Structure 1
Amino acid sequence: MPMTYSPMMKTDTLTLPNGLRVTLEHVPRLKRAAAAVRVAAGSHDAPSAWPGLAHFLEHLFFLGTATFPADQSLMPYVQQHGGQVNASTRDRTTDFFFELTPAAFEGGLARLCDMLAHPRLALDDQRREREVLHAEFIAWSREATTHRLAWLTAPLSRQHPATGFHAGNRYSLQVPNPAFQAALHTFHQRYYHGGQMTLALVGPQSLDELRELAERYGNDFSSGTHFLQALPPPLRSKTKITLPAFDPSRLNLTFALEGLPAGSEEALRFLFTWLTRRHAGGLLNVLTQRGWIDAVKPEVLYRFADQALVTIEFTLTEQGQSAQGCIAGAFFDWLRVLADQDDWGSLREEYALLKARERQTAPALLLARGHVESPQYNLELSAESVQALRALLNTLCPEQLLHPVEIAPEQSLPTWALPPANPFLRSPDSTAFPVPLPSALHVSQALSSQTGEGALYLRWRAESAVAPDTRRALLRTMTASLKGLTEEAGQAGVDMTLTALGPYWQLKLAGYSEPIPAVLAALTSHLTSPTTDAWASFTQPEPEAPAGMPIRALLNALPDSVANLATLSPASVSVQTETNGPALLADIWARSHWDGLVAGLPEVSLAPLGTSLVKLPGKPAPGRPQPGHISSGHYWQKISTSSVEHAIVLFCPAPPGDLAREAAWRLLAQLVQSRFYQRMRVELQLGYAVFSSFRHMEGQPGLLFGIQSPAIPTAVLLAHTRKFFEALTTHNAPSLAEWTAAQQALGDQFNEAVLEPRSTAEQLWQAYLGGHSASYFEALRRAIEHLTPADFKNACQDLTAATHGWLCLGNHPAPEPIWRTM
């Protein structure tokens, strides 16, 4: 099928004289532009004598070049202009990608191409970065996912690189060794040339503009001819081994697939789409209703040439742990029924709608990455992929399991049903009688409805106090009831989340605007009357947080902590003692009031929205609630994690309700972001997870700092952070030129022409929670324009003195008496 997806999207491909293959896509709806580079080389292509070399080189690229020194390189440049940047080294590929405003895009592309073509590879840089990778290695080696992967791949052939060590640490990355340096430079020369690379540029710019940029900077790479990477040996070992289960709460049906035909990658995506779909008569629903599983997650662990390692992981309930043979039998029977279909016509039609909606809503970064990951992208399941699917279904059988499971002989199997059509992928009925919007819903005009994307935010506060664990149990119940609807909305381009934030329940519907009213109408009954199956969540103990990086657990807990701390006064009409779940939920809704914000929805969508809002639980709030704020002081909350590493997340609130001072704090955040990273991660080498940024948390503006270290104690991490703050007004202060450039870059981020719809809607909601007017963006732009260095200095002093309070979350107790434990 041609690579033109709609009259508004245009694509082109070209190959530069140096062999670089380029894909360009012009998408007028986008407010940002993105670039992605894929190099046909990954961890398995590095010399076996130097494990981790490919990943190490990926890190070194970001440390500056002769043209763009470290402080002017890609990462600080993207951060200064409010963009995104990252890289990823996989088994046989390495990807680099960023997203920026169109005005700043050329500067980002120049830096990306220059750093890949002309890395410095200075020995001092290598020594420092090796220690960062070693810290990453320590954390990686402790993660349960690492041990799970080792167990899953253990039965494979020892000759296959998928069973090898490729992470890299200070012992495998022998920087002073001349042989290692020779291998590093040879690897770069062998793979980082035009012939082994692909580049994708996506944005609102015309194809001619994008082509000019690709030719100007893509020719930086040395010329080369594309060659096929070395084929791996067979996946399967000739000697079969049987291992005890790694985790009794997981059932992994794992397949080592070889000889896969062309089109298999898309065939797997098609299969996984329906495997995870929640619907009556579907595999997931049946196994959940029988009380055997909580979730299913299919995953491609390895993919190259005609090989793939695929696992289907079932998260088991306590009852399911003794029914693994039945679960496996049901899975294979479901596959049999799917294979018996003639050509999957209805599913292919639905799949095409899903893919089309993905493209309608995908940001520039995802579109660019998609082009380098799957150059032959199709909106439909191609004839080639249909044949591959047929072959795949014939291959996925019990005899092919890498970890054998004894299939239960006689079991009561259901009558399987194919998934029904997703109603949110079709245009809604437009005959709804218009109902006026309640005054509790504030309509923002700051986000244009012409983008096709919008958002609806609602929050409820009850007039009765409920124990926090009971509130969480009720939230789990409603969330469980909403699972199927949440997935259908997501497929239709609407992100739906229901969260508990302090005394509030908050609902967000954001994304493709057309289905939002219909999604709201469908979810109301799940809030007031969750399904019978969902109520099982109310009486079950709160599930343990999944193992992983502790800093992620801290970030997940932060919004609720801020909301609790910023609450003006407790909801205190009465304390609930009701223990019956449905009765308690009904009473809470009866005593609650809601308010909200809608942005980006066209007039045609507001009429049915009014109809749905009338049916919401609770009553519309009589007036706009007053914003809360965090009082001065030092607050500490310990979040328990399974990790032995030390992590902190420090939120420093800016002055509430003052846009001039908020502007100064935003500029401060922009100027310290790369400095904080350089000081903590590069110079002091405290850890590998280091970040800082400006954030709005439940209406509270502020600066957020985070550090995770494998060995440095919490008290030392905080001490270094304080010293960094104190240096901001002295030897670490920005020059006038830096200050002016940062001020200009910050102001440009709030130009209406570059405001990305979803992030804009989130900022409008945060501004609403903070008590700002409808002209928030315009007033903020003016405030940024009028900033002076004195404003910056005052912000630094307020930050250092914790004038407006500090909230720190850590996975260890507070290190000093100054901290008040929450």
Structure 2
Amino acid sequence: MNNPSATSLESFRLPNGLTVILAHVPRLKRTSAAIRIAAGSHDVDRAWPGLAHFLEHLLFLGTDTYPADEGLMPYVQRHAGQVNASTGDRLTDFFFEVPPVALEGGLIRLCDMLAHPHFALEGQRREREVIHAEFIAWSRDIRTHRLAWMMHPLSRHHPARAFHAGNRYSLLVPNTRFQTALKAFHARFYQAGQMTLALVGPQPLDELRQLAVLHGSQFNTGEHVQQTPPPALLPAETVKPIPLPDANTLGLMFALESLPAESSEAIDCLSHWMHAEHDGGLIDRLRKKGWIKTLKLETLYRFEQQAVLAVEIALTEAGAKEASQVARAFFDWLAFLKRQPDWTELQEEYTRLAQQARAISGALALSRSLLEHGLTSPGLSDAGVIALQHLLSQLRPEHNLLPIPDAPEHNAEPVLDWRLPPLNPFLTPALTKVGKTPVSLPALVSSQALSPDHGEGALYICWRFPEPVAYQPALIRTLNHALRVITDQARQAGVDVSLSTLGQHWQLRITGLSNPIPAVLDALIPLLHTPGHDVWRAFSQPPPAPNSMPIRQLMSRFDDLVAEPPYTAADQAGQSVEGPALLASLWSTAQWHGLAIGFSDATLDQLRHCMLNLPGTTTPPTSTLESRAGHWWHTVTGHSAEHAVLLACPAPAHDIHQEAAWRFIGHVVQPRFYQRMRVELQLGYAVFSSIRQVAGRSTLVFGIQSPSVTTAGILGHLEEFLALLPSEAAALTQEQFTQQQRALADQFLASALDSRHLSEALWSAHLGGYSLTYLDDLREAILALQPDDIQHALQALRSAYHGWTCLANHVSTETHWLTL
């Protein structure tokens, strides 16, 4: 494996005041740039709430040098990268990730847009409407209402209590004073002394340094501006509590002052152990009592020596009746941690895990981590242990700011046998025992597309069932409950485990560092066969109510409904069904095949021996997915008044040339779709298009969530957009066509794909019936495309010849859509 210790770090300051952090990481296939501005929503004059967030949006609207259609977002999209920004209380971050060859082009655009923004009023008016749409969705969200309830006990003088999102009425674009404040905020904070640039990638430090010096020098010279210290978190007098918004959620909140400097790492460490799934831990004990569904610790506010920590515990029906006992158990666990006489072992284990996480992080995650922590080694320092002890002394019942229901008199205090987390068994896994005779498993296809020397691998297993699976979502939910301890430990050791459905197929993904994967699989298999008795509660309970944005609810159902919509079972509790017997019956008829990528011969032998114990029998891989012409509709019910639509347009199955054409269309369309739907029509803030792989087929996906346009209106705009594509494609010159071809083909070079994207591409190809030379074949097909091929593909796309599937949170009112 590429040695993580080969990573080289460097930090320096440019003459203009810009702080630069560089990381040369040889194992990476992609590169990232991130810039942090030490200013956020709480640094804005209270007369203009939302100004900092508004400015973040405006910076993406283009400059004199790079107009909007040549700016950072379309540039990164053309290179199949990621780009985003976030405005926090006291910080604003901008970041992107691209292939190494595209780093300089992205960095030029990022620095230019931050240093030389346009403040044209017409662009401001359009972007204000986008923010207003975001505000409407935010104000309707259950989470927003709960957050307001949680923050109510804080002082009304503290900015954490104030409104900072911005809307049509707070962002007074035509107002001269507003324009003056906007430009003054940019001049004061968007200067070099207030900024940190992080560059991460496989490039040598010299190359990264040259880029940082060349492009970071364009920022105005400045000194660091000391941000105004906040007032006290708590008011002088206790605030009268407001009614509890949800009896099924227990909230605890703590306003902390005078925290030591190392409190951030202490909070991170506490969060890690609080969320750990080990036997005898907080979550494990409360779940086994039947009291909780989930528990989450969140930092709602953090600046200098202040922090606001909140704990949200989703209660079961039984837990809602015992909310006070749940709270007592929580504080008892904190006291148990504080009583530990020696933190050395926990400190060393947490540090090992934190270092492991950094060693396997992608470029984007690393660049953001460097902005947060600088060159500090990850983990818990000795000073951090002291800070953690201080933190635990503050998290006491008398310091909780939220009301807890009174305990019934007959209930005694809970006596729970807390246990410290064990050492992670997958950090230094023992070799999985294998027999002396080599195992032949034709159902497991092996690929060396990832070199075993790289140290990362991927194992995919797919089960097929002869009949539609009854209570499928409840079964998968139960199995995931059973696997959660192993999944959590594997994640800490650099291995991601995912059990999911794809229509009527079940998929197990195990990806990450290759050495622990055989041990992880060996630990998972017994639980797949026989989940523990206590986890079947998840099978008999109703599914959790959706509480996310409508577009995210649609995305969570996307693969299932697009893969095999007519046969996908509805999510329902198996209250009158014998779950273990149902699972055993299913496994007795299941057939599986799989794909292993990036393993040495010795590790493959270990995997094959483990897989002899998998449930089901082996079967050769086959692809049975066929095109289904026409318009198909599926309503995913929710509780939002906003309208959300996902339109899925799959390419023909088993046709690499048509897939190449579909990918070309997706590549060219992505920035234009965003510009048309979000910027020009202002349909909403959740707008995107992309190519997704579903059951081995490339699928062009369009997504829109709107607070003001109906489902029918959204579909009308989509169809109008698709109708214009043939003429827009015909307008491409031969030179432009060739440039787009090459840019797209280069995205599928094995050298340009990180381990995760490479493995997912090969697994999707495997499901689609393609050979392991899929990436080379696809590049060849893309480079062979002619303009007529695109026109023919667009004709098939617009006519729904290969089928359209629409997922929406409202019912269709048009007769040509067939309801699934």
TM-score (norm 1): 0.96
- Contact 2:540 2:575 survives alignment (8 Å): no
Among 123, 142, 145, the residue aligned to 1:144 = 142
Give 1:485's aligned residue.
486
Give 2:360's aligned residue.
361
- Contact 1:113 1:217 survives alignment (8 Å): yes
Give 2:707's aligned residue.
710
Deviations 1:338-360 (A, max 9, x none): 11123311111111221121122
Residues 808 and 34 of structure 1: is their aligned pair in 2 closer, same or farther, counting only changes over 3 Å? same
Q: Distance in 1 between matches of 2:783 and 2:28?
A: 26
Give 2:350's aligned residue.
351
Residues 5 and 501 of structure 1: is their aligned pair in 2 closer, same or farther, counting only changes over 3 Å? closer
The alpha-carbon deviation at position 531 of structure 1 amounts to 0.6
Give 2:696's aligned residue.
699
- Paired residue secondary structure (2:369): helix
What are the equivalent positions in structure 2 for 1:251-290 lying under 5 Å apart?
Answer: 251-290=250-289
- Paired residue secondary structure (2:60): helix
Deviations 1:774-794 (A, max 9, x none): 110011111111112222222
2:461 paired with 1:462: no
Residues 60 and 643 of structure 1: is their aligned pair in 2 closer, same or farther, counting only changes over 3 Å? same
* Amino acid in structure 2 at the alignment position of 1:136: E
The alpha-carbon deviation at position 579 of structure 1 amounts to 3.6
- Contact 2:490 2:497 survives alignment (8 Å): yes
The alpha-carbon deviation at position 565 of structure 1 amounts to 4.1
* Amino acid in structure 2 at the alignment position of 1:451: H
Give 2:417's aligned residue.
415
* Amino acid in structure 2 at the alignment position of 1:563: A
Q: Distance in 2 between matches of 1:777 and 1:145?
A: 42
- Paired residue secondary structure (1:210): helix
Give 1:312's aligned residue.
311
* Amino acid in structure 2 at the alignment position of 1:526: L
Q: Distance in 1 between matches of 2:506 and 2:585?
A: 15
The alpha-carbon deviation at position 376 of structure 1 amounts to 4.9
- Paired residue secondary structure (1:728): helix
The alpha-carbon deviation at position 769 of structure 1 amounts to 0.8
Q: Distance in 1 between matches of 2:210 and 2:129?
A: 40
2:725 paired with 1:721: no
The alpha-carbon deviation at position 494 of structure 1 amounts to 1.4
Q: Distance in 2 between matches of 1:445 and 1:566?
A: 37
Deviations 1:159-178 (A, max 9, x none): 00000010101111111111
Q: Distance in 1 between matches of 2:577 and 2:279?
A: 31
Give 1:116's aligned residue.
114
Residues 403 and 739 of structure 1: is their aligned pair in 2 closer, same or farther, counting only changes over 3 Å? same
The alpha-carbon deviation at position 406 of structure 1 amounts to 6.5
- Contact 1:38 1:373 survives alignment (8 Å): no
- Contact 1:464 1:588 survives alignment (8 Å): no
Give 2:508's aligned residue.
507
Residues 577 and 302 of structure 1: is their aligned pair in 2 closer, same or farther, counting only changes over 3 Å? closer
Residues 318 and 406 of structure 1: is their aligned pair in 2 closer, same or farther, counting only changes over 3 Å? closer
Deviations 1:423-473 (A, max 9, x none): 011143266446424111111222322332221111111224433xx2222
- Paired residue secondary structure (1:496): strand
Give 2:532's aligned residue.
531
The alpha-carbon deviation at position 514 of structure 1 amounts to 1.5
What are the equivalent positions in structure 2 for 1:275-674 lying under 5 Å apart?
Answer: 275-405=274-404, 410-429=412-431, 432-433=434-435, 435-467=438-470, 470-545=471-546, 547-565=547-565, 579-621=577-619, 623-674=620-671
- Contact 1:446 1:775 survives alignment (8 Å): no
Q: Distance in 2 between matches of 1:680 and 1:472?
A: 34
Deviates more, 1:290-299 or 1:432-441: 432-441
- Paired residue secondary structure (1:425): coil
Deviates more, 1:762-771 or 1:273-282: 273-282
- Contact 2:347 2:385 survives alignment (8 Å): no
- Paired residue secondary structure (1:68): coil
Q: Distance in 1 between matches of 2:315 and 2:162?
A: 29
- Contact 2:328 2:414 survives alignment (8 Å): no
- The alignment-based identity, stated in percent, is 51
Q: Distance in 2 between matches of 1:689 and 1:45?
A: 27
- Paired residue secondary structure (1:95): strand
2:690 paired with 1:688: no
Q: Distance in 1 between matches of 2:679 and 2:576?
A: 54
Among 1, 19, 22, the residue aligned to 2:20 = 22
Deviates more, 1:496-505 or 1:637-646: 496-505
Q: Distance in 2 between matches of 1:449 and 1:632?
A: 43
* Amino acid in structure 1 at the alignment position of 2:319: G
* Amino acid in structure 1 at the alignment position of 2:650: P
Superposed CA RMSD? 1.9
* Amino acid in structure 2 at the alignment position of 1:667: F
- Contact 1:437 1:613 survives alignment (8 Å): no
- Contact 1:691 1:705 survives alignment (8 Å): yes
Q: Distance in 2 between matches of 1:14 and 1:603?
A: 45
- Contact 1:566 1:629 survives alignment (8 Å): no
* Amino acid in structure 1 at the alignment position of 2:738: T
Residues 169 and 577 of structure 1: is their aligned pair in 2 closer, same or farther, counting only changes over 3 Å? closer
- Paired residue secondary structure (2:59): helix
2:200 paired with 1:228: no
Residues 227 and 433 of structure 1: is their aligned pair in 2 closer, same or farther, counting only changes over 3 Å? farther
- Paired residue secondary structure (1:499): strand
2:247 paired with 1:248: yes
- Paired residue secondary structure (1:414): coil
- Contact 2:250 2:404 survives alignment (8 Å): no
- Contact 1:457 1:765 survives alignment (8 Å): yes
User: How many equivalent residue pairs?
Assistant: 809
* Amino acid in structure 2 at the alignment position of 1:663: A
- Contact 2:495 2:517 survives alignment (8 Å): yes
Q: Distance in 2 between matches of 1:466 and 1:775?
A: 33
The alpha-carbon deviation at position 495 of structure 1 amounts to 1.4
What are the equivalent positions in structure 2 for 1:142-221 lying under 5 Å apart?
Answer: 142-221=140-219
Q: Distance in 2 between matches of 1:731 and 1:97?
A: 31
The alpha-carbon deviation at position 379 of structure 1 amounts to 2.8
Q: Distance in 1 between matches of 2:695 and 2:406?
A: 50
Q: Distance in 1 between matches of 2:165 and 2:722?
A: 34
- Contact 2:4 2:359 survives alignment (8 Å): no
- Contact 2:429 2:519 survives alignment (8 Å): no
The alpha-carbon deviation at position 227 of structure 1 amounts to 2.3
- Contact 1:300 1:308 survives alignment (8 Å): yes
Deviates more, 1:254-263 or 1:382-391: 382-391
Q: Distance in 1 between matches of 2:293 and 2:653?
A: 42
- Contact 1:566 1:630 survives alignment (8 Å): no
- Paired residue secondary structure (1:97): strand
- Paired residue secondary structure (1:489): helix
Residues 272 and 690 of structure 1: is their aligned pair in 2 closer, same or farther, counting only changes over 3 Å? same
Deviations 1:513-556 (A, max 9, x none): 221111111111111111111111222223322x1210111111
What are the equivalent positions in structure 2 for 1:777-796 lying under 5 Å apart?
Answer: 777-796=775-794
* Unmatched runs of 5 consecutive residues or more in structure 1: none
Q: Distance in 2 between matches of 1:326 and 1:194?
A: 52
Deviates more, 1:801-810 or 1:234-243: 234-243
- Contact 2:748 2:775 survives alignment (8 Å): yes
The alpha-carbon deviation at position 245 of structure 1 amounts to 1.6
- Paired residue secondary structure (1:804): coil
* Unmatched runs of 5 consecutive residues or more in structure 2: none
Deviations 1:139-165 (A, max 9, x none): 000001111110000010000000001
Residues 412 and 800 of structure 1: is their aligned pair in 2 closer, same or farther, counting only changes over 3 Å? closer
- Contact 2:730 2:787 survives alignment (8 Å): no
Q: Distance in 2 between matches of 1:296 and 1:679?
A: 41
Q: Distance in 1 between matches of 2:429 and 2:731?
A: 53
- Contact 2:53 2:166 survives alignment (8 Å): yes
The alpha-carbon deviation at position 246 of structure 1 amounts to 2.0
* Amino acid in structure 2 at the alignment position of 1:559: D
Deviates more, 1:323-332 or 1:765-774: 323-332
Among 14, 33, 36, the residue aligned to 2:34 = 36
Q: Distance in 2 between matches of 1:500 and 1:755?
A: 25
Deviates more, 1:585-594 or 1:448-457: 448-457
